[in-house]
Structures are given as structure tokens and as C-alpha cells.
Structure 1
Amino acid sequence: MLTFTYDHSPAEVVKLFPRASDLFKSHKIDFCCGGDTPLRDVFIKRESLDGDEILRIINDAYKQWKENGNAVVDWDSISNTQLIDHIMEHHHYLDEELPALGQFVTKIFRVHGNQHPHLKELYSVYNELKAELESHIIEEENELFPLIKEYEIAQTPTTFAKIQELNKDMEKEHVAAGELLSQINNLTNGFEPPIDACNSYRITYARLKELESNTFQHIHLENNILFKKFVS
């Protein structure tokens, strides 16, 4: 019997089996901002995708993953504070990474921009993303997360309503960040550096790829798990 079927959404699959996100990303299947769409509808819309094969790969990988002793995290049983602490630890490292990565993006644009014109647009889009994520993280840490932790102690309707409004804002910002990451993915040809790329060029693309992966997981945990707890 299959664990995952056409009736599951990408978000539900990744919630149970996080490694499925790698396969979804390789096929450009959204599992975060638009992750609630059933796979059946995803495959109908994307006729070029072989739904049977993708589901077979995911189910086989999940079976092997469990046989290797990996434990499934029951995100629904984890407190909001524990989930926030997890997000803070694993996904809010960007206050250091974004400026450092920005220096690499600037360097390869300055050195190789004449030979590779797309680096000018990459520089522009990256800095827009950097500003978006930095502002987003500050808002989460200073406003949203403290409110959610406060609600765990005193569950008042007023606090609940404030959290709902902030969640709506955060989801809009997640969509904006996802669109910018999509542009970066396209500009870098899926983070594949040119044959003649120098070491700095390759490091830049590798770190951009990691940024995309980390941000998508960040959005997934918030949109599909944390924020879902505050739907009326």
C-alpha cells in the first residue's frame, strides 16, 4: 500500500517526509506557498510530469528512509514555541549569510559582468531578495513570534486576531520571496555555473542554491504548519 497518493498535496508529503522537497524542487513543484494543491491537480496542470513515476520514487525513498531508522517528526504534536525555536535555529541564520553571500554576488558581477551579462540582473534581484528577507526576519522575530509565544500562555481572542493578521502579511512576503528565488534560479540556469566559471563563481552559485533550499523549508514550516494553527 502506498503512503503517498495523488490525493496528497506536496505540503503534506514534505511535512511527513522532508527529503521529498528535493525531488519537488527538481521538478519545480511548489511545496510551500502553493503547496496545498493535490498532486492529482498538479500533474493535470503539468502534463509533462510523469505522476506515477514521481509518486513511485517518493514512496520508495520514504520506505528506504524509514527502514534506515529515521524517525518521522510529528509537527502537529510540537508546541508553537518549540517550532519557533526550530525555525530560529535552522532558518534565521540569514543575518550573517545574506551580507556574506551578497559580497560574492557583487564580486562575480564586477569581475565577470562584461562576459556574462546576466550577472547584472542577478546582482539586482539578489539585493531585492536580501532586503525582503532581512525585513521579513526582523518582523517575525520582533512581532509575530513573541505574539505566538504569548498566546501559548494566555489564549486571548485579541492576540489570536493579531497573529492572524500578521500571518497574512507573512504569507504575502513569502510569495514575494519565492518569486525572487524563482528569478534567481532561472538566471543561474538552476545554479549551474558556466564551464569557464572560477572558484568564486562556483561558490556563489552553490550558496545561492543552499539559500533557496533553506528558504523554501522555512516557508513550508510556517505556511503549512505554524500558520495553519491559527486558521479560524
Structure 2
Amino acid sequence: MNTNPLYALAENWPADLLIDYILKIHHRGIRDNGPGILARFRRAVEARPEQLELAEACALFEESLIDLDMHLMKEENVLFPFILELFEADREDRDLEQMHCGSVANPIRVMEDDHEGEIQRYARIAQLTHDFAVDANADTDYRELMSEVAAFMNALHEHIHLENEILFPLAVRLEDRHVRF
């Protein structure tokens, strides 16, 4: 059971507020924080060329940022606009044409698959970094890197939970009420 108090609040948010939160907190956070973390990761790898696990973790983080960029664009340009249309149809108690790709469940499945891939990737990063542990002799830059990567991962898990467990099921319910196939 997840005890994050945000989840209980978000369960009662309308779709437009939930999407705004995801966009402004999570999508913006990925774009704002990811490049700086990657730069710090690269510096750490350069300073510790013998630590092959760190280099692998850095490469995985870089791959994640590339994949997340595409993922966020799909959400922002395809899925979220349709969910907002569903929300408006619900507010106005009217029907809506189906999504251009059929059911909203189709792009949701793609997003959930992407999410699962990121969960697995960050589990590997955590494993490679020994759960972001730092030894007593670690320099400040390395300590901050591990803290930032852990925070990035935790925010990503929150992002995924908000979408998979709250927003996406809401979208399916709204589609069931307002779209005729």
C-alpha cells in the first residue's frame, strides 16, 4: 500500500488539474533537472574511470532522458489533449467521437509499457549505485549526484503512479461514459 498523501488528494482531482500537476511538476521537472544530473553524472564517471558500474548507470540515465523526452511528447501531444476533451465532454454531459487511434486504452497501454521500462531501468541504476549509497570518503559532488538521482527516480515513480493508477483509469471511465464505438 502506498502512503504518499498526494495520492489520496489526487484521487479526487478533476482530470484537468491532475494533468496540470503532472505537466508542471513532473514533465517540467524531468526537463529542468535531467540535463544537469546527466552533466554531473558524466563528471563523476570522468573522475572515476575505474568504476564501470557508475559508467553503466550514467549510460542508463542518459538513455532514460532520451526515451522520456519522446514519452513526454506523446503524452503532451496525443494522450493528454484527448483526456482533456473527455473531461470537457463529461462536464458538459455530451458525447465525443472516439480517439483517432480507437480507444484511449490503446495509447495508455503504450504509456504504461514505457513506464514499466523506466521502472526497470531505474531499478538497475539503483542496483549499480548500491541504492545511491556513498561512502564516508565520497566528495560533495558525488554525494549530491547520488541524492539527485535518487530524488529524480522517486519523482518519476510518483509521476508513473499518478498516471497509471489515477489519470489513466479516470480516462477509461470517462471514455466509457462519453464515447460510442
Q: TM-score, normalised by structure 2?
A: 0.83
Residue 78 of structure 1 aligns with an amino acid whose one-letter code is W
State the alpha-carbon separation in 2 of the partners of residues 198 and 81 from structure 1: 43
Is 2:12 aligned against 1:77?
A: yes
Among 148, 161, 176, the residue aligned to 1:220: 161
Identify the structure with bigger relative contact order (alpha carbons < 8 Å, sequence gap 6+).
2
Aligned counterparts, 1:38-187, within 5 A: 73=9, 75-92=10-27, 93-114=29-50, 116-154=51-89, 155-159=95-99, 161-187=102-128
SS in structure 1 opposite 2:137?
Answer: coil
Please, which runs of 5 or more residues in structure 2 have no aligned partner? 90-94, 177-181
1:162 Cα deviation from its structure 2 partner: 4.3
CA-to-partner distance for each residue in 1:120-153, whole Å, 9 max, x for gaps? Answer: 2112111111112121111111111111112222
Sequence identity (%): 24
1:205 Cα deviation from its structure 2 partner: 0.3
Q: Of Structure 1 and Structure 2, which has the larger fraction of its residues in helix?
A: 2
State the alpha-carbon separation in 2 of the partners of residues 207 and 80 from structure 1: 29
RMSD, matched Cα: 2.1
1:119 Cα deviation from its structure 2 partner: 1.4
CA-to-partner distance for each residue in 1:87-121, whole Å, 9 max, x for gaps? Answer: 1122112112111110001000011122x221121
Would you say the 8 A contact 1:151–1:159 is kept in 2?
no
Residue 30 of structure 2 aligns with an amino acid whose one-letter code is L
Q: TM-score, normalised by structure 1?
A: 0.66
Structure 1 stretches of 4+ with a deviation exceeding 4 A read: none
1:159 Cα deviation from its structure 2 partner: 2.7
Residue 226 of structure 1 aligns with an amino acid whose one-letter code is L
Please, which runs of 5 or more residues in structure 1 have no aligned partner? 1-9, 22-71
